[in-house]
Structure 1
Amino acid sequence: MKRYFQASGLARLCFLTVLVLILTTLPLLYIARYDHSSADDYTYGNYTHQVWEETHSPVRLIGAAFQTSHDFWYTYQGPFASAFFMSLQPSVISERLYGLTAWLMLGMLIASHFLFFKVLLGDYLGAKPVHYITIAAAFLVLCIQTMPDPVEAYYWYVGSVHYTFMYSCMLFLLSCLMLFLKTSSRIRGALLLFLACLLGLICGGSNFITALQTPVLLCLFGGFCLFYRNRKALWCLLPLGFTLTGLYFNVTAPGNTVRQGEISPLSPVTAIYDSFRYAVTYFKEWTNIYFLLLLLFLTPVIWHFVSRSHRRYPLPGLVIFLSFCGYACMFTPSVYSLGFAGYARVLNIIMCALYLFLFLDLIYFLGWLASKTTVSVSNPAFRKPFLQSWYTGIAVTTLVALFFTKPDQITSFSAVNALYKGYAQSYHQENLDRISMLSLEGVDEVWVPNFSVEPHLLFFDNLDTDETCWKNQAVAEWFGKKVVHMVEVYQLDHENVQ
């Protein structure tokens, strides 16, 4: 503590930002113990679950995951990499492990962003650890706490691994390529390039948003490398090739015609136009008070390191325009195939990407501005009187905004609310009771009640009153039953219901 109080103002700011990230993430990890499988968790995990129950062999389990990926590629949809990971959901081994879902998704999201900011800002733009750690932690607080649909981002395994996990893999891919260009070790460079190729194949075989966004970002990355005449960047064509190969097999999968059903896709021109229209609509929706406050919070931190560097930031207008196009193209797969912006799990990663683009645009613009002026916040006479009042005002405004925000609009508030009112505990116990009923031996037909509570963070979907519904059939197959019925016993009328 003595060292802390003797530290500089920026170090204290870094410490407090990381502390806020940790404290706001802890409720999300704690409530994960009450998380349970639902919907597609059973369809994608059925075969791997059966193999594990019969053999308890990790090798056979991985083989079953590859088989599931192969089967779904032929019969349902093309994202073969996502199908592989979706078939390995934790309850395949034990329902008690399903709570690891949130730990995995939040861990991937946090680790990928910290690495990305460390490499880009620290290794390339000359930021010190206090700079990029503060920026990464503050950025993650915003993304984690304001997700459009947190249950599909962190707690529903199949949805979160298909989008949140794969989005994080894309950031790891970009970080690997940037590290590859910096390293002078051939062995380390070869390992980074191999990892980038593997991640490229995974991203190409993931959801169509990430599968399209990854080659777009790789091309933008290649454009910067060409501008700076980095010949070593030619090796980056290899991960791009693996990404495009994965995307090709993703798009041409026979199962896509089944998933598409009777929906007629839009024309490419209409889809592109609508993508920009949705991009503007959601840009206005997602630039809320918390985003604006975070921009104000990070502006002095960013200026502190860009004003000290002598790096070039040419053509900021072009960079901002290209970043907006990169953000808009994330709407195109959903608009083209479904006719609307996309499901909530799609919007989760699009919002994260928008915030990332905007923060990078801010850094680039401030870097360009710093090259045109001599003003610097590194002057102690300027920093002390100005920044203290600056951050005090931001803190007070944030507290006032939180006071007028509904609990379920802030992820950690929603977790605390569900725990305090007992919704999470009741949901957990009712799931355990349902599993006990479904696990009874010698019974082929089972009736289960609906849930009396549906916590905003934990509940994604329920069984159907029609026993022929695919969800009921998947659960019946999982537990070895012929028929599973659900009876609506409880009327849901409290405020903590989706």
Structure 2
Amino acid sequence: MKKLLIRGNNYLIAFLSIAVFIISMLPIWYLAGYARPSGDDYGYSVLTHAAWIDTHSLIEVFKAAIRTVKNNYFGWNGDWFTTFLFSFMPEVFVPYSFWIVPYIMTGAVIVSTLIFMHEVCIKLIKATWAECLIFTSLILVASYQYIPSTAIGMYWYVGATHYMLPYAAGLLGIALIFKFIRKGKAGYLIGASVCSLMVGGSSYFTSLLLFMVLFFVGIIVWGKVPRRAVLLFVPFVICSIAFVIQCKAPGNAVRGGENFGFDFSVAVYTIIESLKRGAFMVGLYIREKTLIFVILFIISVIGWEMMSKVIRDNKFAYPFPLLFVIIMYGVYCAMFAPEVYSEVYDSIEISLGPATIQYFTFLLVSFFMILYCEGWLLKRIERKNKSDSFEEFMENRYRIFIMFPVFFLCLILTVINKGWLKESVDVRVYEYVSSGQADDFKKQIDSQMEILLDDSIKDAYLVPINQDQGPLMHMPVTTDENSFTNIVVKNFYRKNKVVMINND
């Protein structure tokens, strides 16, 4: 117990943080067994599924994926890299294998976040592994428990591939950029370039994030390691080329309308509106996702103790905190730009994917703002307080009088304000499963799959399913055999028609 009161002894806190995170993810992963492909998941996989059924050749499947990219590039959308990945939906190869999708999507984000936080916390800030794990676990708990769209984040293959995998690749690419600046090894530059290619060909949002990081990092390190700063043009140019290829796709005009394109006045409006919308969403987070600010407060309390220790051996002065906060706010608001720009063209439907990336970015920039401002303030205290009284307080009394009372207060507030937990993903999953809706949905889907997988049935008449999907994502087949979902399901399973039986 006495060791727990010593500054820097965070192993027990780290263990508890990891345990809380893993426990919080168990309901999410449990619901993976109920997840099913739907809509676009089938639409983008028609050619690859046919190639696999006919040939069982991965080469032919690969060729079919290329054809899918070509068809969509000229006919619908330009995100060529993720369209290629869309074609490899698990049930292209094995029926009932869709359960693996939530594990892949959450696993990619978890691993990339850990790698990114390791580089920032341990290598740049000089924190310990325990502190890195605490911050990573808390940020991931906040990320997944209040994610704007569980479908985009986990249960919809196309949606998660389009938003979450590029986000994960972006975090990994940023970590590799930092590693290259520190060590100068070509392998890190190559890895960052590969990530830049993936991001540039998939996501407007993460592309903007990567562009800004490359720009700011290049300026910061120019005076110290100019050669490495110049070499950052390699991933920047690669990401730019991939991004331009995506933006110039003829399919974008098909999806957005013939007027869709670059307009200077729209760009100016986008910048102003994005800055306004960022502030509005922060207010919305405060009102609807209050618990994440409790988590950020806990991070700040742990961060204060950590920063009080690391600044002693760190000559960095944390200058211009206001400028840093403004830059971080700008990075966050930049995540609204693609959405705002697209809204000008009414023909483009906006999903909750942008809101999810905006939310994840908000958590990260908030974390950086907290630690940077704490570092600046502690440096000022260090310069003004020449005695050992402050250091003695941080070493022996901070945890007794500040940290643990704050932990206890946050716990009490969370228990009292049960509404904070009501909208969490775990509660939503529990209610969906305990009500029997999840099992009802699964049984009805299984009855549909028996018909769809039966090659002797060419006219597939399906029984209506439970419309309450909870946190899951499902676009049901309708009574109109010419609707989008009916057509893509028909093509995927090679039926003459697929139609939902009318309840009447």
What is the TM-score normalised by the length of structure 2? Answer: 0.90
- Cross-structure match for 1:496: none
For residues 67 and 193 of structure 1, the distance between their equivalents in structure 2, rounded to whole angstroms, comes to 31
- Cross-structure match for 2:351: 343
Q: Deviations for 1:351-401, whole angstroms, at most 9, x for unmatched residues?
A: 100111111111111111111113456411232233221111111112223
- Cross-structure match for 1:257: 253
Which of residues 432, 447, 453 in structure 2 aligns to 1:418? Answer: 432
> What letter matches 2:34 in structure 1?
Y
> What letter matches 1:364 in structure 2?
Y
**2:406 maps to 1:390:** yes
- Cross-structure match for 2:375: 367
For residues 268 and 378 of structure 2, the distance between their equivalents in structure 1, rounded to whole angstroms, comes to 40
For residues 235 and 317 of structure 2, the distance between their equivalents in structure 1, rounded to whole angstroms, comes to 27
Task: Give the count of matched residue pairs.
Answer: 484
> What letter matches 2:337 in structure 1?
T
302-311 vs 389-398, which moves further: 302-311
Which of residues 461, 473, 478 in structure 1 aligns to 2:487? Answer: 473
463-472 vs 94-103, which moves further: 463-472
- Cross-structure match for 2:336: 331
> What letter matches 1:383 in structure 2?
R
Aligned partners of 2:74 and 2:250 also within 8 Å: yes
- Cross-structure match for 1:355: 363
1:291 deviation in Å? Answer: 2.0
For residues 318 and 247 of structure 1, the distance between their equivalents in structure 2, rounded to whole angstroms, comes to 29
- Cross-structure match for 1:302: 303
**2:154 maps to 1:154:** yes
**2:214 maps to 1:218:** yes
Partner SS, residue 485 of structure 1: strand
Aligned partners of 1:77 and 1:259 also within 8 Å: yes
Aligned partners of 2:461 and 2:501 also within 8 Å: yes
For residues 436 and 7 of structure 1, the distance between their equivalents in structure 2, rounded to whole angstroms, comes to 60
1:406 deviation in Å? Answer: 6.6
> What letter matches 2:409 in structure 1?
G
What is the TM-score normalised by the length of structure 1? Answer: 0.91
**Which consecutive aligned stretches of 4+ in structure 1 deviate over 4 angstroms post-superposition?**
3-9, 227-230, 262-266
332-341 vs 104-113, which moves further: 332-341
For residues 23 and 5 of structure 2, the distance between their equivalents in structure 1, rounded to whole angstroms, comes to 20
Q: Deviations for 1:425-472, whole angstroms, at most 9, x for unmatched residues?
A: 221221111111123334332221321242321133222332111221
Q: Residues 155 and 263 from structure 1, CA distance in 2 versus in 1: closer, same or farther, beyond 3 angstroms?
A: farther
1:81 deviation in Å? Answer: 0.7
Residues 67-466 of structure 1 aligned to structure 2 (within 5 Å): 67-183=67-183, 189-226=185-222, 229=225, 231-261=227-257, 267-287=266-286, 288-308=289-309, 309=311, 310=314, 311-339=316-344, 342-374=350-382, 375-376=390-391, 378-401=394-417, 403-405=418-420, 407=422, 409-466=423-480
Q: Deviations for 1:30-84, whole angstroms, at most 9, x for unmatched residues?
A: 1101110001001111111111112222333233223322221121111001101
Identity of aligned residues (%): 23
Q: Residues 316 and 119 from structure 1, CA distance in 2 versus in 1: closer, same or farther, beyond 3 angstroms?
A: same
Aligned partners of 1:465 and 1:485 also within 8 Å: yes
For residues 320 and 441 of structure 1, the distance between their equivalents in structure 2, rounded to whole angstroms, comes to 60
Aligned partners of 1:153 and 1:159 also within 8 Å: yes
- Cross-structure match for 1:493: none
Aligned partners of 2:82 and 2:202 also within 8 Å: yes
1:342 deviation in Å? Answer: 4.0
1:226 deviation in Å? Answer: 2.9
Aligned partners of 2:267 and 2:341 also within 8 Å: yes
Aligned partners of 1:331 and 1:342 also within 8 Å: no
Partner SS, residue 170 of structure 1: helix
1:238 deviation in Å? Answer: 0.6
Aligned partners of 1:211 and 1:243 also within 8 Å: yes
Partner SS, residue 307 of structure 1: helix
Q: Deviations for 1:464-487, whole angstroms, at most 9, x for unmatched residues?
A: 332111221111111111221123
Aligned partners of 2:90 and 2:97 also within 8 Å: yes
Q: Residues 227 and 286 from structure 1, CA distance in 2 versus in 1: closer, same or farther, beyond 3 angstroms?
A: farther
Aligned partners of 1:152 and 1:344 also within 8 Å: yes
For residues 101 and 164 of structure 2, the distance between their equivalents in structure 1, rounded to whole angstroms, comes to 11
1:263 deviation in Å? Answer: 6.8
For residues 464 and 5 of structure 2, the distance between their equivalents in structure 1, rounded to whole angstroms, comes to 54
Q: Deviations for 1:123-156, whole angstroms, at most 9, x for unmatched residues?
A: 0111111111100100100011001111221100
1:24 deviation in Å? Answer: 0.5
> What letter matches 2:116 in structure 1?
F
For residues 414 and 323 of structure 2, the distance between their equivalents in structure 1, rounded to whole angstroms, comes to 33
444-453 vs 111-120, which moves further: 444-453
For residues 4 and 278 of structure 2, the distance between their equivalents in structure 1, rounded to whole angstroms, comes to 43
> What letter matches 1:369 in structure 2?
L
Instruction: Point out where structure 1 has 5 or more consecutive residues left out of the alignment.
Output: 491-498
Partner SS, residue 10 of structure 2: helix
- Cross-structure match for 2:50: 50
For residues 378 and 391 of structure 1, the distance between their equivalents in structure 2, rounded to whole angstroms, comes to 17
Aligned partners of 1:335 and 1:342 also within 8 Å: no
151-160 vs 302-311, which moves further: 302-311
> What letter matches 1:290 in structure 2?
L
For residues 5 and 365 of structure 2, the distance between their equivalents in structure 1, rounded to whole angstroms, comes to 35
- Cross-structure match for 2:31: 31
